[in-house]
A and B are shown apart, each in its own frame.
Chain A
């Protein structure tokens, strides 16, 4: 488990990445998929996920599709056209960020090898 501080800053990007790859997903599916993909190292809490999804919906980045399952409603979230452009920007920013972090944290090690 990583600290919630690290996860909080990346949650939005993780959600966008998943929706971009999978098309449409419902809330529980997102938490389960992240747990599965990261071997449980990243645990998205419900307390953070739903506020983020609703904020994305209010911003017009995602839209919902409801499906009735017995007595309950399941809401699938998917990217809008605007959301796809937004996701692309966010993901390339994240990739760039990860590279930068790598330079920052492996920089000295790299020099030693050189």
Chain B
């Protein structure tokens, strides 16, 4: 029976910490255990040699292995719970997203509610829980790096999609960042998994799934307004430009002091201003200068229809004048697809177009 000096006990305590045991209760257990072991040795061997033998008894994984095992056993019930949350929220959000997309394509009501709740579920439950449980199951450093990369990619994807849905600024940057991370993550994930025969099948099939989701995301994100929409916009613009040009022309040829000239001048100025307002007010628009909502369109509509009615009233006495007609421009309930073509036309103009 030998006894340990205070210095020796401190040395062991420090060494346990240096060897990577950071849990205090485990530090205490191991210190007492090693001390007991050393005190039981009766021979005259030096302290260092006996201490080494005591460490050998802890096996190949060493002290840190004990800690890993302890943390795993203690946290296992929580991990199982987290996995359940991950799978449940994953299933729910996937269902909501698929149904939401279907409703959106069919222009049925409720699409946005489903898409938003699906994205929120995915962002705040599925992705963090799934990648956290994946992360804790990785024993190698490489696996941890790859699952961290996956977490970043997934968060970028979900937030990018959500920003895009809400028409918030910054969606494009998030999606470009997502594409960048995705192109690094996917090959690493598949190659790393395929090396291990145990995970080969699952990593290749997961990789295929990720590729489908990522590709679908990119398609959705970089989509442009449909051809019908852009065509109708071009027609609106041509209508307006031609009409304005025609009016400016008439203006130049008319009597300088006449009421016609004043009325037309006022109208042209008003229309010019409205058109430039709608095209440059970036925060309120998406894509090709289209306002996001009917609320944002309202001032534009009011300005032009006021200008049209003022012009019609002033010109009523002119026998050559046919009243102008203005159809409100409006967006439909479902968002970005349908527009009523704005018409700003005189009978003569319509005839000329024919």
Which of A's residues lie within 8 Å of B, judged by CB? 26-29, 45-48, 50-55, 58-59, 64, 66, 69-75
Residue from A26, A45, A54, A58 within 8 A of B59 (CB atoms): A45
Q: Give how many A-B residue pairs fall within 8 Å (CB-CB).
A: 71
Give min CB distance, B220 to chain A, whole Å: 45
Tell me if B74 and A58 are in contact (CB < 8 A): yes
**Does B349 reach chain A (CB closer than 8 Å)?**
no
Residue from A45, A46, A51, A73 within 8 A of B28 (CB atoms): A73
Point out the residues of chain B lying under 8 angstroms from A55, CB to CB: 70, 73-74, 76
Point out the residues of chain B lying under 8 angstroms from A66, CB to CB: 28
Q: A46-B66, A47-B58, A47-B65 are in contact. Are A54 and B28 (CB under 8 A)?
A: no
Give min CB distance, A78 to chain B, whole Å: 15
Point out the residues of chain A lying under 8 angstroms from B36, CB to CB: 28-29
Point out the residues of chain B lying under 8 angstroms from A75, CB to CB: 25, 28-29, 32
Q: A47-B59, A47-B65 are in contact. Are A54 and B70 (CB under 8 A)?
A: yes
Tell me if A54 and B32 are in contact (CB < 8 A): no
Residue from B13, B70, B76 within 8 A of A50 (CB atoms): B70
Tell me if A54 and B9 are in contact (CB < 8 A): no
Which of B's residues lie within 8 Å of A, judged by CB? 6, 9-10, 13, 25-26, 28-33, 35-37, 57-59, 61, 65-66, 69-70, 72-74, 76-77
Closest 3 CB pairs of A and B: A55-B73, A28-B36, A51-B69
Task: Tell me the bound Cα distance from A98 to B61 in angstroms.
Answer: 32
Tell me if B70 and A46 are in contact (CB < 8 A): no
Point out the residues of chain A lying under 8 angstroms from B70, CB to CB: 50-51, 54-55
Tell me if A72 and B31 are in contact (CB < 8 A): yes
Task: Tell me the bound Cα distance from A45 to B32 in angstroms.
Answer: 15
Of chain B, the residue at the smallest CB distance from A45 is: B59
Tell me if B66 and A73 are in contact (CB < 8 A): no
Task: Tell me the bound Cα distance from A51 to B75 in angstroms.
Answer: 11
Of chain A, the residue at the smallest CB distance from B62 is: A47
Q: A50-B29, A75-B29 are in contact. List 8 more A-B contacts (CB 8 A).
A: A28-B32, A51-B69, A55-B74, A58-B73, A70-B6, A72-B32, A72-B35, A73-B32
